[in-house]
Amino acid sequence: MSKFWSQVVQDLTPYVPGEQPKLPKLVKLNTNENPYGPSPKVLEALQAEVGDTLRLYPDPNSDRLRQTIADYHRVTPDQVFVGNGSDEVLAHTFQALLKHDLPIRFPDITYSFYPVYCGLYGIAYQQLPLTESLEICIDDYLQPNGGIIFPNPNAPTARLLALPEIERLLQANTDSVVVIDEAYVDFGGDSAIGLTARYPQLLVTRTLSKSHSLAGLRVGYAVGHPDLIEALTRVKDSFNSYPLDRFAQAGAVAALEDHAYFEETRRKVVTSRNRLVGELEMLGFVVLPSAANFIFARHPSNDGAVLTANLRERSIIVRHFKNPARIDPFMRITIGTEQQCAVLVSALREILS
């Protein structure tokens, strides 16, 4: 604390990102990165950007990237907003579209950045408890509100809400923006992007960090009605008009254009996930159904924090959340390579024996 801090900063409770340890040779299963590197075409595109043009600012509107995303999702570029990771897209969304008189609504167990943005922008919010089985219940959201946001699949539970349920919400909730955060949807869900044509209050956010193996490049985007996109652009142009550098724009285009590589790595992650779930169940774990590149698992007779610490002693890092108390028994485990999953399973077998 310092007397030089503004009141906003004094009142902030910042987000705590997952650990990015500097130690080599770790089995790093804690921040939902893709275990496979980006497409070789991305690396070529990045290399092509190294040169004299770096003295020039990048395209402030990321036109080529927005066109590529528009083609990818069969929408128009004026329905696409891009940002420095979907975290930045989400931050602008909170300020541009979710700050109204009524509180916004999101689940009690969800991406822990949402309450942080509310704190930063002074947005009132209500956290609605997930069901016993840690699912989102749409009926809970059908009250007047300043906006609604949740990830689908949800994080850290990995549970998916079926698309008809999202459409039911959109039919009932027409006076405020509904944001569906699809950071993980490529690993097992149906996207709501197709619904944006019929529901002008729907904004869908996406990231290239997970299914396109580009967490290090920081590229995220949103798709929605041009009026919603214009609001985000107005905030962006009042904050940082060049959020994506030349590398990010070129690399993201190449990643989205390499469908074959995307399909191959996605299939590998899903296959490893399904195998890992079976193996953990054989060890007695209860694993929630996962549509993501991570799983949420607990062991009936072993504490989540203790298991996490035991794995750490064996240089395997997974994520454990203390709050709220009902997720304390769980570990969130990112799907690694086949080999990393095998190391994890044999470590757990040893710990439990």
Ligand X SMILES: Cc1ncc(COP(=O)(O)O)c(C=O)c1O
Chain positions contacting ligand X, by CB under 6 A? 32, 85-87, 111, 151, 155, 181, 183, 207, 209, 215, 220
Beta strands in 118-184 (DSSP E): 125-128, 148-151, 178-181
Specify the residue, 86 or 201, whose C-beta has the smaller distance to ligand X.
86
How far CA 204 is from CA of 62, 228, 321, in Å, comes to 18, 11, 26
Q: With CA atoms as reference, report the closest residue to 291 among 159, 179, 193, 163.
A: 159
Distance in Å, CB of 142 to ligand X, minimum = 23
Specify the residue, 109 or 297, whose C-beta has the smaller distance to ligand X.
109
Distance between the two ends of the chain, CA-based, in angstroms? 47
Distance in Å, CB of 216 to ligand X, minimum = 9
3-state secondary structure of 301: coil
Instruction: For the beta carbon of residue 51, count every other beta carbon within 10 angstroms.
Output: 9
Specify the residue, 87 or 258, whose C-beta has the smaller distance to ligand X.
87
Distance in Å, CB of 92 to ligand X, minimum = 12
Specify the residue, 265 or 302, whose C-beta has the smaller distance to ligand X.
265
Helices (H), 36-162: 40-49, 63-73, 85-97, 113-121
Beta bridge partners, 297, equal 287, 331
Q: Is residue 214 exposed (0-12), middle (13-18) or buried (19+ Cβ within 10 Å)?
A: buried
Round to whole Å and give the CA distance between 240 and 245: 11
Distance in Å, CB of 293 to ligand X, minimum = 10
Specify the residue, 123 or 252, whose C-beta has the smaller distance to ligand X.
252
Round to whole Å and give the CA distance between 108 and 128: 5
Specify the residue, 30 or 201, whose C-beta has the smaller distance to ligand X.
30
> Among positive and negative, which fits the CA dihedral 92, 79, 86, 62?
negative
Instruction: For the beta carbon of residue 274, count every other beta carbon within 10 angstroms.
Output: 13
Specify the residue, 256 or 347, whose C-beta has the smaller distance to ligand X.
256
Distance in Å, CB of 121 to ligand X, minimum = 17
**Distance, CA of 171 to chain centre:** 25
Distance in Å, CB of 213 to ligand X, minimum = 12
Q: With CA atoms as reference, report the closest residue to 98 among 170, 146, 150.
A: 146
Token pair belonging to 254: 């190449």
Specify the residue, 85 or 302, whose C-beta has the smaller distance to ligand X.
85
Specify the residue, 62 or 86, whose C-beta has the smaller distance to ligand X.
86
Distance in Å, CB of 114 to ligand X, minimum = 9
Distance in Å, CB of 212 to ligand X, minimum = 10
Distance in Å, CB of 221 to ligand X, minimum = 9
Round to whole Å and give the CA distance between 266 and 81: 24
